[in-house]
Structure 1
Amino acid sequence: METIIKVKPSELNIELLQKIKDFIGNRKNIEITISLNEFDPRYNDELDRSIRQAEQEANLISFTMEEFMSYTPKAF
């Protein structure tokens, strides 16, 4: 089951948290995602610049899957 709750920052309060807790009940394996739909235009500029660099193959680092896995933190 998936539910999307859209709220304004001013609506974030203890009552909202209690309603979410009541909704969840005793269920296990709950995942909560917070998504911000507004972003700083500078982020968009940096993303565009990164895309251009990747398209020009500038500042790229390549490695094999084995090399990548050796740099990946191991699970506990």
Structure 2
Amino acid sequence: MVYRGYFLLLFLLPVAAAQTSPGSCSGCGPLSLPLLASLVAAEAAMSLIMVGVVFACARSPRRGSPQGDGTVYINMPSRG
């Protein structure tokens, strides 16, 4: 469900961006190379950790596997 307010926000966002002056950013400049390298390394490490957790959760055996419980279902003739 899409709300009409979101469309209004999307249309007004470029207008608000055009109203800001280009020199309004005080004290922000290009990132230093060590800071940029550390940010990239931290993101890579977090991505590897997330991939590892997802892989570990996907490989873990499930408890109470329904394959060997002996229950006969009506719409599953191969199990009975």
TM-score, normalised via structure 1 length = 0.28
Q: Please say which structure displays the higher CA radius of gyration.
A: 2
Whose RCO is larger (CA < 8 A, sep 6+)? Answer: 2
Write 1 or 2 for the structure with the bigger share of helix.
2
Q: TM-score, structure 2 length as denominator? A: 0.27
